[in-house]
Structure 1
Amino acid sequence: MNLTSTEKCRAAEKLIQKGQFEDAGFLIDQVLESHPQNTSALIAKSALQLKAGHVAEAKQHLLAAFHLSPDDPVILTNLASLALFENRLPDALEHLQTVAAQSPGHLPAILLLGQIHLQRGDLREAQGWLSRAAGLAPADPAVLVAGSTLALACQNLTEAAALLDKALEIDPDHVRALAALAHVRALTGDFEAAASLATKAHLEAPQDPDIAVTLARVYLASGALGEAQKLTDRFKARFPDFAPIVLCAAEVSIARGNVAGALADGAKWLRKDPKDSGRMAGFLKVLKKAGAWRQLLDLSDKLSAELAGSAAVLSLREEALHVLGRSREGWASWAARRNLPEGGPVPPFSVGLPARAPLLDELVLMRFVNAWAGEGQVEMIGDSHLESLWHRLPAGDRVHWTSQPGAQPELLADLTARTVLYAPDKSVFAPYLAPDPERRAQWDAALPSDGKPRIGVFWDTRAPGLLVDHMREALADLPVHAISLQFDDSRHQLRAWPGALDAGVALKGLGDLVNVVDCLDLVVGPDGLPLHVAGALGRKGIALLQENHEWYWAGEGTGSHWYPSVTRIVTAVGPDWSAAGAALQEMLDPQAA
């Protein structure tokens, strides 16, 4: 008995879910040869083309299906997914809102609406849509995976992991749940579990490029750069136009120090469709990863008004302005996009801390909050992982935390933008952390006091970052006391550096870091909390950076705009830190003499 077109399409859909694209394509082509207007086959063919990175062909098949059945919720939802792929958010929302109105029980559209609002940072709206999805299908693994994404956006890793565990209890081979849990485990530093989960997902869907990207990123985060390179090379050969593969491959190449190769590959990919905003934003991200900030800015200045005006391009351009020390221009662009009113905020100030705000960005924000607190009460809304550091602000008695805003809060970047643009006196640096006198005295008495400089050191835990061996070699044979400021499990790496003093073992929380750093003559390391604390205290530091450093390390030569007491050493991007080590030794020799 011959298989019907419906049976072949259903089988193809299952094969696509498993990542068996060649087999799925074989069945779909059979259907389209005999029934070229079969909408299910056209939808499936579009999905396959999109996976291969052939956006134009995917769009052609999907529009053909749309003309045949313009009210089909599956087609409209897929059109929304395609619009998101092309960075056409308004079109995506229009399609999805049509589906939500006409087919309120169509789960994929509801989930996609929740995911869009998550990406936009609108957690309340996202929670509404995802709660609606959970009401429709509480035991659907896709719903549980979406819920875990919301939990992750709220920095609740425990809840995210619990939802994904539940999804895998229902379907142990659910590849999206496996990949999502791998991401969560990587965030918690459990790279062994992350690699195991990502590998299982890859084996379940060995041809799925999205899953391959997840596994490659786990390899990258755990320092297994060679494995990440092998995987991305393999998939880049098969999916040369698929944006996530192209961008992940470029990131891996840059991490390995092959910046020129990554930029060449990215430029080749962009030239295939230079008017596509998604490709342009992707290539600008490659330039960012490579630390090619001036090239990024130059290219963004030459774009058409349509491309230059996209949110993704504007955001990257603003970041480049910050890194190049042109923060006032960067904030002006940021403020214009959000229609900020003229003038700075007036007391009482209300500052909302965005969910999952980077810790170091939060520490930079303290500088401005402390300045505004000198003029009135500041209400902080949200959850902080640096609570003990907030207590070390000189004006901290005027800063109060709440979970419920009394008024519409300022965004984190909103306050900084207004400070730079409308109150330049507030952006002038002054030390904004203060030690506890009693605890500082205890640290001072406990640290060596034989006249040799006390140098606080810390490092990255994995390649391509600055490793403990790099720090040990840079300080070798110098008459100094190396004081380790590592405070997590990476303290165990001190086994390779027996001469260093382990201060991390005695730290009583992150707030105590302020006390010990204030006792040191110098703090040396990569971008990290101890160096920011030194800068915030106005203590001497040396930042070992690469050209793709964050915006708050903007400066000229060795000088730092944001932390005047910190000297910058900036070297090429990649795993080779020898140039930084040599420059550090040259700086430290006269200080140690």
Structure 2
Amino acid sequence: MLLIDQRLSAARSHRSAGRNDDAALLYESVLDVSPSNIAALKELAVIRLTDGRLDAAMDLAMRAAAKANTDCDALALLARVALLSDRSDIAAVAIDQGLALDRYHPEINRLKASTLLQGGDQKAAERLLIEALTRHPDDAGLLTVLSQMYMEDGLPGPGLTYSRKALAQDPDNPDLLTLVGSQLSVLGNHAEALPYLERAHLLQPANVPLQSYLAETLLSLGQLTEAYRLAKRVVTLTPHLLSGWQTYVKVMAYRGEAEAALAEFLVIAKQHPEKIDAALTLAGAHRISGNPAQALRLLQPLTAKFATLTLTQKTLTMALIRDCCLTLGLFDKVAPTFLQTDLHAMLGLGQYGGKDAGTDDELSAALAETSLVIDGNLSSLDAMVLLRFGLCPPETGSPTTVLGASSLADIVALMPSKHFEANDVPKAEDQDDVVRALPLSYALALPERLRGTMTSTLPYVRAPQDRRKIWRRSLAGLPRPLIVLAWDATRPGLLLEDYRIAFNSFQGTLVSVMWDEARHQLSDWSLVIDAGVHFTSMADLAAVIAETDGIIGPNGVPLHLAGAMGAKAMLLTLPNWPWYWHNEDGVSSWYPSVKVVKTGTIGSWAARTEEISPAIGEFCRSLHVPALASNDDHSINFSAAEGGKA
């Protein structure tokens, strides 16, 4: 007769080889002989959990925890199964019991942190995870949860640090490779993200959601054919995977086939068992395709049944409605899209001003003591637009404190009405500090009398005078107009080459302000002056914009800086522009100094150069160039800009 240890050893060998059915049979044979065998109960529970048999997994996990109530691993397993089974009561008991036995147990701390995050207590979750990491600094589970928490909070620095450290512990883990790759992709580092996602795909070729991630990244890098192949495979293999359809529609839009993709998805959406989620995804697909009005119409029925939606569905619905309203210029409809609209409660005015708190003076006083925190769902460009708003009355001369990722420090430093503090360097000793803060996005819900209008704060970015003086001397004597050019790093974006037709007979000077990998495109067009190579900070970019006659480019930091400075600019965009490029008669609503020129259809800019050339020519001719003193020396002195001396 086979011994129990022999059966357990064989079962584990089958599990490691992926033969779960064979392993399960052997574990069951162990339990037939020894019903209280803890190892068999736990390991069979994991298999049942993997198979999606939650009831069987719950029964096994409860039996294991009951027989070994001092086994933290058994308690952690029970808590994990209970959470997946929506039995938060059982999970809470198991977690508390496990923490009482071992307050630093990695899995139990991870589960406890997850429940704290679901309850909105991020500080407690962060403190718990950091404390557990002091005892288990290389635990991939703890590192992963902390990474995800920071990314959701808009703190990419520590988020990537922890995910990469987790990956270093298990370099061939496809889930961790996907985590790092997807985080890099969300941050716009698509070229860096691609190798991680491709390695994960080789390790898990049947992972359909991973294929969807990979397709999005390939699209962002201009590899449209491969992106289409993967996106099409996803919706064919798993037609009910809603995220796959969103990626597919996006890819098809850049192929000029958005309508066909939407028609395909509509059939699936009507039959989908999750009606609410399908409706949300369909609305999002229309928004991606450049039709926010249709997206808004699809969302209206959800508002009628709003009370029946889950919190996640409510949040997604309101966020999408807000985006569509902003894109369409329905600015008076934006404030009601915030789930929390009680400003008094958010500022704690019950304690601050007593029962009768709420006058404008009291609100203004409370806001003056409040910081703006850049919420995690905002991109850096979203934040640049909204940072025009402040919480301190202008007449006080006091800056509003802004909390956010350190990567934004350079930009906020150019805003005289703001004081920046980085919040992406976790410090355990600071975890109990209490700071009254409002999410930056909530500025859209504040009454205009408290935060100002969309344009009353313009300009809110200023180039430092010392850098302006340096660049003024460096650019002196060059043929005018001085036109700044910006462009994208890869297709399907706008490349430097796409400007060539528009500037064939241009008599002025073209100046590049690209400072990243997009600079390599200058090697094919030597007539464009490479100012970006001399940049030491965003102050140089702002100074060049201030000392030239106009800037042309796609959506990006240079165009936003120009708009925030009130500089003349032309934005080149596709019809599915982000919300902040709403315009009336081609004039940006958020940045009135920016002219908005859009193409007729979505797709690669390679096929749209002739379409935008006339508008570029008209913009250049419209610039009023100030009279200059005669200067026969057209050489450029960049040594001054680079060395910081005039």
Bin the TM-score by the shorter chain.
0.7 to 0.9
The match for 2:482 is 454
The match for 1:361 is 382
Deviates more, 1:102-111 or 1:471-480: 102-111
Question: Alpha-carbon deviations, 1:153-202, whole Å to 9, x = none?
Answer: 57776655554555445433222222223345557877566433323222
The match for 1:100 is 95
**Are positions 1:537 and 2:565 aligned together?**
yes
DSSP 3-state at the match of 1:249: helix
**Are positions 1:350 and 2:345 aligned together?**
no
Contact 1:351-1:381 at 8 Å conserved across structures: yes
Contact 1:236-1:249 at 8 Å conserved across structures: yes
Deviates more, 1:306-315 or 1:417-426: 417-426
Please give the alpha-carbon distance, in whole angstroms, between the structure 1 residues aligned to 2:241 and 2:11.
24
Equivalent residue letter for 1:130: L
The match for 1:331 is 335
DSSP 3-state at the match of 1:475: coil
Cα distance, 1:263–1:43 mapped onto 2, change above 3 Å: farther
Match of 1:340 among 337, 343, 354: 343
- Alpha-carbon offset, residue 326 of structure 1: 1.4
Deviates more, 1:151-160 or 1:338-347: 151-160
Equivalent residue letter for 2:458: A
Contact 2:486-2:513 at 8 Å conserved across structures: yes
Please give the alpha-carbon distance, in whole angstroms, between the structure 2 residues aligned to 1:370 and 1:522.
31
Please give the alpha-carbon distance, in whole angstroms, between the structure 1 residues aligned to 2:120 and 2:568.
37
Matches within 5 A, 1:8-157: 14=16, 24=20, 44=47, 47-48=50-51, 61-63=53-55, 66=58, 74=77, 77-78=80-81, 80-81=83-84, 96-104=91-99, 110-112=109-111, 114-115=113-114, 123-131=122-130, 134=133, 138-150=137-149, 152=151
Cα distance, 1:358–1:167 mapped onto 2, change above 3 Å: closer
Deviates more, 1:117-126 or 1:271-280: 117-126
Please give the alpha-carbon distance, in whole angstroms, between the structure 1 residues aligned to 2:582 and 2:118.
28
Please give the alpha-carbon distance, in whole angstroms, between the structure 2 residues aligned to 1:111 and 1:284.
35
Contact 1:571-1:579 at 8 Å conserved across structures: no
- Alpha-carbon offset, residue 152 of structure 1: 4.5
The match for 1:53 is none
Please give the alpha-carbon distance, in whole angstroms, between the structure 2 residues aligned to 1:555 and 1:328.
16
Contact 2:570-2:619 at 8 Å conserved across structures: no
Equivalent residue letter for 1:325: G
Question: Alpha-carbon deviations, 1:305-346, whole Å to 9, x = none?
Answer: 324972211111111111111123112322x53422365543
Contact 1:419-1:426 at 8 Å conserved across structures: no
Contact 2:502-2:614 at 8 Å conserved across structures: no
Please give the alpha-carbon distance, in whole angstroms, between the structure 1 residues aligned to 2:139 and 2:434.
37
**Are positions 1:463 and 2:488 aligned together?**
no
Contact 1:141-1:174 at 8 Å conserved across structures: no
Gapped regions of structure 1 (runs ≥ 5)? 49-57, 83-90
Please give the alpha-carbon distance, in whole angstroms, between the structure 2 residues aligned to 1:273 and 1:31.
38
Match of 2:326 among 307, 322, 325: 322
- Alpha-carbon offset, residue 567 of structure 1: 1.3
Matches within 5 A, 1:392-471: 392-395=414-417, 399=419, 401=421, 407-420=435-448, 424-425=452-453, 428=456, 430-447=458-475, 449=477, 452-471=480-499
The match for 2:232 is 233
DSSP 3-state at the match of 2:401: strand
Please give the alpha-carbon distance, in whole angstroms, between the structure 1 residues aligned to 2:111 and 2:267.
32
Cα distance, 1:555–1:46 mapped onto 2, change above 3 Å: farther
Which structure would you say has the larger Rg?
A: 2
Please give the alpha-carbon distance, in whole angstroms, between the structure 2 residues aligned to 1:585 and 1:153.
40
Contact 2:143-2:163 at 8 Å conserved across structures: yes
**Are positions 1:507 and 2:542 aligned together?**
no
Question: Alpha-carbon deviations, 1:250-283, whole Å to 9, x = none?
Answer: 3333344432243234323322236543333333
- Alpha-carbon offset, residue 485 of structure 1: 1.4
The match for 2:348 is none
Contact 2:512-2:531 at 8 Å conserved across structures: yes
Cα distance, 1:78–1:26 mapped onto 2, change above 3 Å: same
Equivalent residue letter for 1:352: L
Cα distance, 1:407–1:171 mapped onto 2, change above 3 Å: closer
Q: Identity across aligned pairs (percent)?
A: 23
Please give the alpha-carbon distance, in whole angstroms, between the structure 1 residues aligned to 2:251 and 2:118.
24
Question: Alpha-carbon deviations, 1:217-269, whole Å to 9, x = none?
Answer: 44334333322332333343332223443433333333444322432343233
Please give the alpha-carbon distance, in whole angstroms, between the structure 1 residues aligned to 2:336 and 2:285.
24
Cα distance, 1:321–1:154 mapped onto 2, change above 3 Å: closer
Cα distance, 1:212–1:534 mapped onto 2, change above 3 Å: same
- Alpha-carbon offset, residue 456 of structure 1: 1.2
Question: Alpha-carbon deviations, 1:362-385, whole Å to 9, x = none?
Answer: 322332129844445234152443
Contact 1:452-1:592 at 8 Å conserved across structures: no
Cα distance, 1:391–1:575 mapped onto 2, change above 3 Å: same
Please give the alpha-carbon distance, in whole angstroms, between the structure 2 residues aligned to 1:5 and 1:473.
74
Please give the alpha-carbon distance, in whole angstroms, between the structure 2 residues aligned to 1:213 and 1:25.
29
DSSP 3-state at the match of 1:310: helix
Equivalent residue letter for 1:62: L
Contact 1:352-1:381 at 8 Å conserved across structures: yes
Please give the alpha-carbon distance, in whole angstroms, between the structure 1 residues aligned to 2:253 and 2:10.
43
- Alpha-carbon offset, residue 574 of structure 1: 3.8
Please give the alpha-carbon distance, in whole angstroms, between the structure 1 residues aligned to 2:445 and 2:117.
24
Equivalent residue letter for 1:353: V
Please give the alpha-carbon distance, in whole angstroms, between the structure 2 residues aligned to 1:29 and 1:245.
36
**Are positions 1:377 and 2:398 aligned together?**
yes
Gapped regions of structure 2 (runs ≥ 5)? 32-40, 66-74, 345-357, 424-429, 622-646
Deviates more, 1:477-486 or 1:414-423: 414-423
The match for 2:639 is none
Matches within 5 A, 1:245-264: 245-264=244-263
- Alpha-carbon offset, residue 579 of structure 1: 7.4
Contact 1:287-1:293 at 8 Å conserved across structures: yes
Question: Alpha-carbon deviations, 1:501-527, whole Å to 9, x = none?
Answer: 112122231022222111222211111
In the superposition, the TM-score normalised over structure 1's length comes to 0.80
- Alpha-carbon offset, residue 488 of structure 1: 1.8
The match for 1:54 is none
- Kindly report the root-mean-square deviation, in angstroms, between the aligned alpha carbons of the 2 structures: 4.2
Please give the alpha-carbon distance, in whole angstroms, between the structure 2 residues aligned to 1:424 and 1:156.
28
